[in-house]
């Protein structure tokens, strides 16, 4: 940086605040938007909301207002006039604004305020123009950069231009901007060269071409950035050279399994099982992501996959994100697989030491075939005799980090276990390709037959009484219901207290209705007991915090009230609502909101009422929130892009994938430089 003219301590400090430490950082600091100062607009052509460059002579100058003075100059370009309004101005400024002075201004056009007719600009950028200079304008669009206090756009523009010149004129320096994309790729996709693209973005040509050139340059850089992300994850796929245990399906056990199941599998479930079978029979470790909307029946697919492993003499570990869900899976697996002679175990961080010892021993000696649990499963003390398959449910609850680390929990024979990762949060294709570039993907795109859509209504909390009455009637029909209390200002304690109070209030308001309570501060055993009792029909109404968000499956519970749904994101609401609509009859979701709703909250609830398609909801969620929060990214820093925009650039992803494969195969020397250019320090996250 210090190679640039006029960069001293203060400026350096401010640049560093923006994360700009080197010239390389500086040229990759791209504009937020552009201003067109290449054309002087006629004042009579200006419309409300335009950002425009104008030039004219000062006609009159007035100071207006009584308590708050403002200075208004009227500027005329020969055809029309416009007011320039300044609320803050110095005496010197006022002194120079005199009738007859030629000014050039850039600003936003508005309707004149204060009861006056005509147009105005408030605090435009302006300068006096010498008469010889009249009409001479900028040659390119003017970039507007992300900046920080005290760092003027004008200075930032000049520094970036100087940095570009430096790279252009100095061949040694230029090597830092090497174009790592092979020529054939750049030509094949009709992209501009790297330097040209960067240059265009900092000073786009004026006129009708500008949008096109900006677009091309942006696509080129977005492509490179997405490619870098993709490559950094794909390295894991390449490292999949360890052998996996060979597994073969067993027809006898499978028939017995079908006989135990109370339903037939859907075509989608069968297709996905076939894909998994194929992977398990191969020599490479399976790395498969199973996507299926809430209620699509992923658990039974997991059970079938586990059965193949067990039939082939291997052990299976199944990990769920919460104790509640792990326990529920444990019960399901016991029911389905014990009749087939499979030994199913349960491991939890909160078990009594003696119970835990017993399970650990059974795992080490191979007595237990399948173990269900939380992340406690992957502690060092857990040793398997022959682990062949790892299944992770509701993957989105774990970070990319954790998932990659789990691969190392292998068998003692040096084999690498197969891995099946399941998620109900439908991951938009765009994100799936990046966050899960190392996984193959299977999708269950069909719900079990007979499901009716959940009827969703939104009501203000002033109608709470009606909702309570509705629960009364519902329970009268021998059906069950959930009442969900949402998070209060990120405080678990307050949320739990709110749930307790709600449970008390509902118990009082609904005599004869048996109310159970589950929240995050209860002991695991208590929670499990309450859940179990609710499932077996001992209670009619379950009041809960969002702990029941994932996986909980009680088909007879067909009514859900969500209090303050405006506090939750769309995907989370969709997950919650997925708890109902699992049985035969009609089902309902009541969104009991606190008015007034913000604009986005209104949009979110509207989307939820309009659709039940998890993919549509996920895409909308992404649009409304941005990808940041989506994958639990806060833990990984994965999805922060500089240029790329997953929605705008999703069309590039197929090419990104092909080119990534190309490079890894034919030009591996380009891979590291690309990754470090775009991910920099962030690349480390992937190295676990």
Residues of this chain that bind ligand ADP (CB under 6 A):
263-266, 269, 292, 294-300, 424, 448, 551, 553, 555, 582
Q: Which is nearer to Mg ion, 551 or 565 (CB)?
A: 551
Long-range CB pairs of 378-382 (<8 Å, 24+ gap) are 378/317, 378/319, 378/405, 378/406, 378/409, 382/347, 382/409
Residue 467 CA, distance from chain mean position = 33
Q: Which is nearer to ligand ADP, 265 or 281 (CB)?
A: 265
Q: Which is nearer to ligand ADP, 140 or 331 (CB)?
A: 331
Closest approach of ligand ADP to the CB of residue 524, in Å: 20
Q: Give the span between the Cα atoms of 239 and 257, in whole angstroms.
A: 35
Q: Which is nearer to ligand ADP, 77 or 445 (CB)?
A: 445
Q: Which is nearer to ligand ADP, 160 or 422 (CB)?
A: 422
Closest approach of Mg ion to the CB of residue 393, in Å: 6
Q: Per CB under 5 A, does 345 bind Mg ion? A: no
Q: Which residue is nearest to Mg ion (CB)?
A: 551
Q: Residues 677, 684: contact at Cβ < 8 Å?
A: no
Q: Give the span between the Cα atoms of 148 and 126, in whole angstroms.
A: 22
- At which residue do the structure tokens 């609401």 appear? 573
Residue 334's contacts (CB-CB under 8 Å, 6 or more residues apart) are 344
- Taking alpha carbons only, the member of 313, 338, 321 closest to residue 391 is 321
Closest approach of ligand ADP to the CB of residue 257, in Å: 13
| Partner interacting with residue 292 (select from Mg ion, ligand ADP, none; CB below 5-8 Å by kind) | ligand ADP
Q: Which is nearer to ligand ADP, 228 or 552 (CB)?
A: 552
**Could you give the residue ranges of the DSSP H alpha helices within 510-569?**
524-535
- Residues 520-559 touching Mg ion, rule: CB under 5 A, are 551
Q: Which residue is nearest to ligand ADP (CB)?
A: 297
Residue 662's contacts (CB-CB under 8 Å, 6 or more residues apart) are 185
Q: Token pair for residue 45?
A: 């052509």
Q: Give the span between the Cα atoms of 47 and 189, in whole angstroms.
A: 39
Q: Residues 409, 403: contact at Cβ < 8 Å?
A: no
Q: Residues 670, 663: contact at Cβ < 8 Å?
A: yes
Q: Give the span between the Cα atoms of 456 and 476, in whole angstroms.
A: 21
Number of chain residues interacting with Mg ion (CB under 5 A): 1
Q: Which is nearer to Mg ion, 373 or 551 (CB)?
A: 551
| Partner interacting with residue 294 (select from Mg ion, ligand ADP, none; CB below 5-8 Å by kind) | ligand ADP
| Partner interacting with residue 83 (select from Mg ion, ligand ADP, none; CB below 5-8 Å by kind) | none
| Partner interacting with residue 296 (select from Mg ion, ligand ADP, none; CB below 5-8 Å by kind) | ligand ADP
Closest approach of Mg ion to the CB of residue 421, in Å: 13
| Partner interacting with residue 114 (select from Mg ion, ligand ADP, none; CB below 5-8 Å by kind) | none
| Partner interacting with residue 582 (select from Mg ion, ligand ADP, none; CB below 5-8 Å by kind) | ligand ADP
Closest approach of ligand ADP to the CB of residue 297, in Å: 3
- At which residue do the structure tokens 């062949």 appear? 388
Q: Which is nearer to ligand ADP, 15 or 324 (CB)?
A: 324
Q: Residues 54, 105: contact at Cβ < 8 Å?
A: yes
Closest approach of Mg ion to the CB of residue 532, in Å: 17
- DSSP secondary-structure letter at 141? P
Closest approach of ligand ADP to the CB of residue 312, in Å: 23
| Partner interacting with residue 300 (select from ligand ADP, Mg ion, none; CB below 5-8 Å by kind) | ligand ADP
Q: How do beta strands 515-518 and 455-460 pair? A: unpaired
Closest approach of ligand ADP to the CB of residue 636, in Å: 24
- Taking alpha carbons only, the member of 95, 57, 94 closest to residue 78 is 57
Q: Token pair for residue 7?
A: 């960069």
Torsion of CA 334, 335, 338, 343, to 10 degrees: -10
Q: Which is nearer to ligand ADP, 382 or 589 (CB)?
A: 589
Closest approach of Mg ion to the CB of residue 529, in Å: 21
Q: Token pair for residue 153?
A: 């756009």
| Partner interacting with residue 230 (select from Mg ion, ligand ADP, none; CB below 5-8 Å by kind) | none
- Where along the sequence are the contacts to Mg ion (CB under 5 A)? 551
């Amino acid at each position: 940086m210090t190679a640039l003219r006029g960069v001293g301590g203060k400026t350096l400090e401010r640049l560093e605040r923006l994360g700009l430490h080197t010239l390389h950082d500086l040229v990759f600091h791209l504009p937020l938007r552009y201003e067109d100062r290449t054309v002087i607009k006629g004042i009579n052509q200006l419309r409300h909301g335009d950002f425009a460059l104008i030039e004219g002579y000062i006609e009159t100058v007035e100071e207006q207002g009584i308590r708050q003075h403002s200075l208004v100059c009227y500027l005329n370009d020969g055809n029309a006039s416009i007011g320039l309004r300044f609320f803050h101005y110095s005496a010197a400024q006022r002194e120079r604004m005199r009738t007859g002075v030629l000014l050039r201004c850039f600003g936003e056009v508005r309707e004149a305020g204060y009861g006056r007719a005509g147009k105005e600009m408030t605090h435009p950028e302006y300068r006096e123009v010498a008469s010889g200079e009249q009409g001479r304008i900028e040659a390119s669009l003017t970039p507007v950069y992300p900046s920080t206090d005290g760092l003027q756009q004008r200075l930032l523009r000049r520094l970036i231009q100087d940095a570009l010149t430096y790279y252009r004129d100095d061949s040694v320096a230029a090597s830092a901007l090497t174009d790592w994309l092979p020529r054939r790729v750049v030509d094949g996709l009709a992209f501009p060269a790297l330097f040209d693209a960067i240059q265009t973005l900092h000073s786009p040509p004026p006129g009708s071409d500008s949008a096109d050139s900006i677009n091309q340059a942006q696509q080129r850089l977005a492509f490179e950035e997405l490619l870098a992300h993709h490559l950094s994850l794909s390295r894991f796929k390449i490292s999949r050279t360890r052998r996996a245990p060979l597994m073969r399906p067993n027809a006898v056990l499978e028939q017995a399994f079908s006989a135990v199941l109370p339903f037939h599998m859907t075509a989608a479930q069968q297709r996905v099982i076939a894909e998994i079978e194929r992977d398990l029979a191969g020599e490479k470790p399976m790395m498969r992501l199973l996507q299926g909307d809430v209620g699509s029946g992923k658990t039974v697919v997991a059970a079938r996959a586990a059965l193949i492993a067990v039939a082939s003499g291997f052990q299976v570990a199944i990990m769920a994100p919460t104790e509640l869900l792990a326990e529920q899976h444990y019960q399901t697996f016991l029911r389905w697989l014990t009749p087939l002679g499979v030994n199913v175990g349960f491991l939890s961080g909160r078990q009594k030491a003696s119970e835990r010892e017993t399970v650990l021993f059974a795992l080490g000696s191979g007595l237990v075939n399948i173990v269900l649990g939380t992340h406690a499963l992957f502690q060092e003390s857990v040793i398997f005799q022959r682990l062949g398959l790892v299944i992770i449910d509701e993957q989105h609850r774990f970070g990319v980090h954790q998932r990659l680390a789990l691969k190392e929990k292998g068998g003692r024979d040096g084999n690498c276990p197969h891995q099946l990762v399941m998620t109900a949060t439908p991951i938009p294709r765009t994100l799936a390709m990046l966050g899960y570039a190392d996984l193959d993907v299977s999708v269950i795109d069909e719900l079990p037959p007979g499901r009716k859509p959940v009827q969703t209504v939104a009501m203000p909390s002033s109608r709470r009484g009606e909702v309570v009455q509705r629960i009364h009637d519902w329970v009268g029909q021998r059906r069950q219901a959930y009442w969900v209390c949402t998070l209060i200002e990120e405080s678990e304690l307050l949320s739990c207290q709110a749930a307790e109070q709600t449970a008390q209030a509902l118990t009082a308001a609904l005599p004869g209705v048996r109310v159970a309570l589950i929240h995050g501060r209860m002991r695991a055993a208590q929670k499990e007991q309450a859940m179990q009792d609710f499932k077996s029909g001992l209670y009619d109404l379950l009041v809960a915090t969002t702990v029941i968000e994932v996986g909980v499956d009680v088909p007879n519970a067909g009514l859900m009230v969500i209090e303050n749904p405006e506090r939750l994101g769309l995907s989370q609401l969709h997950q919650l609502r997925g708890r109902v609509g699992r049985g035969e009859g009609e089902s309902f979701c009541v969104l009991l909101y606190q008015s007034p709703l913000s604009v986005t909250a209104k949009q979110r609830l509207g989307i939820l009422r309009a659709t039940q398609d998890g993919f549509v909801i996920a895409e909308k969620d992404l649009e409304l929130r941005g990808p940041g929060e989506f994958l639990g990214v806060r833990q990984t820093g994965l999805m922060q892009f500089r240029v790329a925009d997953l929605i705008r650039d999703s069309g590039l992803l197929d090419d990104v994938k092909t080119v990534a494969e190309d490079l890894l195969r034919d030009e591996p020397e380009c891979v590291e430089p690309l990754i470090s250019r775009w991910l920099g320090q962030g690349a480390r996250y992937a190295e676990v």
